[in-house]
Structure 1
Amino acid sequence: MGASQGKQSGSEGKGSSSISSDLSSSTDQTSTKAQKNVATSEDSDVSMRTLSTPSPALILPRSSPALFNGSSVSFAPETVGLTYPQRGMCQSKDQHQGAPIDMLPDHAFLQIFAHLPTNQLCRCARVCRRWYNLAWDPRLWRTVRLTGDVAHVDRALRVLTRRLCQDTPNVCLTVEMVVLNGCRRLTDRGLYTVAQCCPELRRLDLAGCYNVSNEAVFEVVSRCPNLEHLDVSGCSKVTCISLTREASIKLSPLHGQQISIRYLDMSDCFALEDEGLHIIAAHCTQLTHLYLRRCVRLTDEGLRFLVIYCPAVRELSVSDCRFISDFGLREIAKLDVHLRYLSIAHCGRITDVGVRYIAKYCSRLRYLNARGCEGLTDHGIEHLAKSCPKLKSLDIGKCPLVSDAGLEVLALNCFNLKRLSLKACESITGRGLQVVAANCFDLQLLNVQDCDVSLDALRFVKRHCKRCIIEHTNPAFF
């Protein structure tokens, strides 16, 4: 970052400075003070020169603040090398002003910049003209990531997309992923900007953006035909259930058009109901991963629509959906051998009957979370173990009716079990654990917190499953 490059940066000052000032207004209004770049001391025989890394203030306008973070950029000079020229030799001006980092080739800078988050990449664009050109290289802008409580996030998105659209007017052809998790101040206006300017978008994460509504999400889905991954967990306004005339008009263009979304997370969308799930399933027929945790208004009827339209679902979570019962599991079982992952945790209406349906038809199930299903007994575990021998992870914590008898059947059939949670299972003793340890040698995690198991049983597990991490509440075992 030599002084020569600092001078050159003046020619691009308008582009870089305007973008930086727009973005930075969201967090800080402090300015940096210029510091000396080169300190020299000479005597009569030998001159010694100290090379220092330049402060951004040497290059930026005096009024340009930092981006996004709450503090301005102000770096004290850092000694990076000492040069002792030979007596009598004439040193060129370029030799005096060069900085070691300037010797790196462009591809090395790109490799470094590729690991920076969006806000720091924007800061790098303010250092000098060379860094400005490199920081805005399209190859670095496949992902836009602004997470946390970013002030004026709508404006930041508008400024970013405006700069990225310079080469291709009105569209950012390079952006494939936008992550805005936790941006509580994001509104529909910011999401409209993404929808209009990022037609090649493949992934959009909006977890916790509770000010986003149905209309904005619909705009993204309509304008981004390649969108495959959508996370709107915690977006309480996203319901897709309105039956008003206006909503019907907005949904009409989607009839006959299939949305390419494969991964959809709508956890904590409390207002989602069966009709909303019906609309989603009817148009997202390629879904393979669907997470509906704590969507407390869903019932068995919604799952019936899901199975009809989305037969390829591999992972499904309906945990904490209190109205899901054995009838809902009967519908889920129609997913057949496609289903690999199922979470029904804390669904209090589920019993052995529903688990028997899953065991009978979903023989390739690998993961089952049935924590808190108090109606589950040893009979359900027996059907599961015999029909799903490739089971790798099972959580039956807080199932008081599961005892050592169920564990023995599980251990004798599911040899590939790697994770087992028995937390707060009142009927489990050390005898059941010993059978598990003697047959499931690949066990990697065992949770027996709040279980009545002896110290000898824990030592037996540790001796036979050497790689197993045991989570327990026995103070004598360590």
Structure 2
Amino acid sequence: MSTDRSTDMSTDSMPLQDLPCLSLRGSMLSQRTNKRRSRCGVSEGLDAECTPTELIQMCSPRHKLQRLCSKDKENDCGHFVLARRSRRKKESSSGVSWDSLPDELLLRVLVCLPLQDLLRVSTVCRRWHRLVLDESLWHSVDLEGLTHMGAALQQVLNTGVRRLRCPRSFVENLLFSTSSPLQLVQLDLSSSIIPTSALESVVCQCSTLEYLSLEGLRLSDAIINALAMNVNLLQLNLSGCSGFSAAALADMFTSCCRIEQLNISWCEFSSDHVKSVVSNLSSSVTHLNISGYRESLSLDDVKVLVGRCPHIQTLDLSDSTLLMADSFPVLAQLKNLLHLSLSRCYHIHLAALTDLGTTFPLLCLLDVFGLVHDGHLPSLKKELPRVSINSRPFSSIARPTPASRLAGSLTERTMWGSGCRLRLGPQ
């Protein structure tokens, strides 16, 4: 025994480069592991071979071996159970993750997207879908060109849109899920096909309108009464509308006393409707189109109008066949008149028009389409050198997009002087 110990001691104390060959070291390692295995109570049947697991256990410290053997679920009854670790969030290689950005920064990114891309982004995840519906992104929307827009219009209105443009559209019945008031400030539904009941459901929830165009639509007294709640109305276009009474019209103009531009031409009006208009307009009106009432607008109506609205700058009385030259002294009370339209007022003679330069010293635009033949225009222009004659074939009063705009141009898609941020088609 002393010899063996001396041999082991001498071998262990030898330098690394003087150790015996690899086969010798392998036999010595086997002897040492057999001794350690016998001390640990390992089965004798495994003496000739060491498995990696047993070797790790034997080489591990005593306290680690005990902790491994004492685990309850992984080694219970000799069954090995694979424990699932919690999934760790993958970090972006760049160091910045979209998920880590606050909502405010993501909204600053989303506000730069056009409408089509914004709708695609909403399908990425629930968070992005929620952000896409944020009302700050839907402040100004143009839906012109969308067919069957009932569902789309309902969704856009629910986002809290402030400026909405959808002229010449076809709208089905609208069924709003909430009764909360709409936040619309500017709305253009000109020349649209929309049921009166659907239009009522929209207008009856509006109280903050400032610019509104319902040109060519069939209305109702309920719609006119709802418009009376929008006391901040500045521009109103009801040209070609029908379906409401003179009494409802009078109540609306009494309530909406801040209107500056009004286009109420070519409506299905009786003389009572015309009197309701001229007798209830406020002095804030500066641009008025009341044309198209051949047998309804009389000189007495003009006198009432001039007395109530002395600050008118643009006045369109076209197609008022009852008016004659005796209306000029009455109109002369409009000291700020710049633009006068008398087209197709056939009872006004050409000789009376030559005195308009002195009657209206500030007049710069005059429309007399159908009243003066082309052959007489040069002589009239000579008598009125400071006045531009027949340069505005279409009225732009209170209209969101004047008809004089070129078709297909970018300015054609504007609404009351500015475009909408979100719109269909190319931006």
TM-score category, normalised to shorter length: 0.5 to 0.7
Shift of 1:269: 2.5
Amino acid at match of 1:386: G
Q: Deviations over 1:138-186 (max 9, x none)?
A: 989756668xxxxxxx5x5545x479x89x961697xxxxxxxxxxxxx
- 1:293 corresponds in structure 2 to 215
Q: CA 1:328–1:368 in 2, change beyond 3 Å: closer, same or farther? A: farther
Instruction: Give the direction of change, closer, same or farther, for the CA distance of 1:271–1:369 in structure 2 (3 Å limit).
Output: same
Q: What is the aligned partner in structure 2 of residue 265 from structure 1?
A: 188
Q: Paired residue for 1:203, among 140, 149, 160?
A: 140
In structure 2, the residue matched to 1:212 is: 149
Whether the aligned pair in 1 keeps the contact of 2:335 and 2:360 (CA below 8 Å) is yes
Give 1:377-392 correspondences, 5 Å limit. Answer: 377-392=298-313
Aligned equivalents of 2:134 and 2:215: distance in 1? 31
1:398 and 2:319 equivalent? yes
- 1:69-148 to structure 2, matched below 5 A, reads 142=111
Q: Which amino acid aligns with 2:167?
A: S
| Distance (Å, rounded) in 2 between the aligned partners of 1:269 and 1:472 | 25
Question: Retained in 2: the 8 A contact 1:318–1:343?
Answer: yes
State the Cα distance separating 1:416 from its structure 2 match. 1.1
What do the CA deviations read for 1:43-82 (whole angstroms, capped 9, x no partner)?
xxxxxxxxxxxxxxxxxxxxxxxxxxxxxxxxxxxxxxxx
Q: CA deviation at 1:409?
A: 0.8
Which residue of 2 is the match for residue 228 of structure 1? 162
Residue 341 of structure 1 deviates from its aligned partner by 1.6
Q: Provide closer, same or farther for how the CA distance between residues 388 and 431 of structure 1 changes in structure 2, counting only shifts above 3 A.
A: farther
Q: Is the 8 A contact 1:278 1:306 kept in 2?
A: no
How many residue pairs get aligned? The number is 285
Q: Does residue 277 of structure 2 align to residue 340 of structure 1?
A: no
**Could you tell me which amino acid in structure 1 is paired with residue 363 of structure 2?**
L
Contact 1:368 1:395 in 2 (8 A): yes
* Amino acid across the alignment from 1:418: L
Counterpart-to-counterpart distance in 1, 2:272 and 2:330: 15
- Do 1:235 and 1:269's aligned partners in 2 also have CA atoms closer than 8 Å? yes
Deviation per CA, 1:381-417: give whole Å up to 9, x if none: 121122211111111211211211223311x211211
Structure 1 residues 398 and 310: alpha-carbon distance in aligned structure 2, compared to 1, 3 A threshold? same
User: Per-residue deviation at 1:372?
Assistant: 1.2
Instruction: Measure, in 2, the Cα distance between the counterparts of 1:268 and 1:470.
Output: 26
Find the counterpart in structure 2 of residue 321 from structure 1.
241
Partner of 2:15: none
Aligned match for 2:274, one of 354, 378, 397: 354
The offset of 1:262, in angstroms, is 0.7
* Equivalent position SS for 1:385: helix
Shift of 1:440: 2.2
Shift of 1:198: 6.6
Q: CA deviation at 1:263?
A: 0.6
Does the Cα contact within 8 Å between 2:321 and 2:346 map onto a contact in 1? yes
C-alpha distance in structure 1 between counterparts of 2:260 and 2:213, whole Å? 13
Shift of 1:368: 1.3
Of structures 1 and 2, the one with the larger relative CO (CA 8 A, separation 6+) is 2
Aligned-partner residue type, residue 220 of structure 1: V
Matched, 1:458 2:377: no
Please state whether the residue corresponding to 2:204 is helix, strand or coil: helix
1:200 is matched by which residue type in structure 2?
Answer: L
Counterparts in 2 of 1:277 and 1:362: CA distance versus 1, 3 Å: farther
Superposition RMSD in Å: 3.4
TM superposition shift of 1:316: 1.4
Residue 306 of structure 1 corresponds to which residue in structure 2? 227
DSSP 3-state at the match of 1:383: helix
Q: Report the Cα distance in structure 2 between the residues aligned to 1:277 and 1:420, rounded to whole angstroms.
A: 34
Partner of 2:356: 436
Structure 2 residue matching 1:408: 3-state secondary structure: helix
Per-residue CA deviations over 1:294-351 (Å, capped at 9, x if unaligned) read 11x31344212321x3222222111111334533431332234311121111113243
What is the CA distance between 1:277 and its match in structure 2?
4.0
- CA separation of 1:336/1:302 partners in 2, compared to 1, >3 Å: closer, same or farther? closer
Check 1:158–1:314 CA distance in 2 against 1; reply closer, same or farther (3 A cut).
closer
Cα displacement string for residues 5-56 of structure 1 (whole angstroms, at most 9, x for unaligned residues): xxxxxxxxxxxxxxxxxxxxxxxxxxxxxxxxxxxxxxxxxxxxxxxxxxxx
Q: What residue number does 1:363 align with?
A: 283
Name the residue aligned to 2:128: 170
- In 2, Cα distance between equivalents of 1:338 and 1:442: 25
The amino acid that maps onto 2:128 is N
The aligned residue for residue 372 of structure 1 is 292
The separation in 1 between residues aligned to 2:392 and 2:154, in whole angstroms, is 47
| Matches of 2:190 and 2:136, distance apart in 1 | 26
1:361 shift after superposition: 4.1
Consecutive unaligned residues in structure 2, runs of 5 or more: 1-105, 394-427
Q: Is the 1:239–1:269 contact (alpha carbons within 8 Å) kept by the matching residues of 2?
A: no
8 A contact 1:407–1:433 mirrored in 2:
no
Whole-angstrom distance in 1 between the partners of 2:137 and 2:182 = 14
Decide whether aligned partners of structure 1 residues 239 and 266 sit closer, same or farther in structure 2, where only a CA change above 3 A counts: farther
How far apart are 1:444 and its partner, in Å?
2.7
Residues 458, 409 of structure 1: alpha-carbon distance in 2 compared, 3 angstrom cutoff: same
Q: How much does 1:462 deviate?
A: 2.1
Aligned positions of 1:31-46 closer than 5 A: none
Secondary structure in 1 matching 2:247: helix
Identity %: 21
Among 421, 441, 447, the residue aligned to 2:341:
421
* Contact 1:352–1:379 (Cα < 8 Å) also in 2: no
Q: Give 2:204's aligned residue.
A: 282
Does the 8 Å CA contact 2:278/2:301 hold for their aligned counterparts?
A: no
Q: 1:433–1:360: structure 2 CA closer, same or farther, 3 Å change rule?
A: farther
Larger Rg: 2
Structure 1 alignment gaps of length 5 or more: 1-136, 147-153, 174-194, 241-246, 474-478
| Cα distance in structure 1, aligned partners of 2:275 and 2:351 | 25
- SS in structure 1 of the partner of residue 250 of structure 2: helix
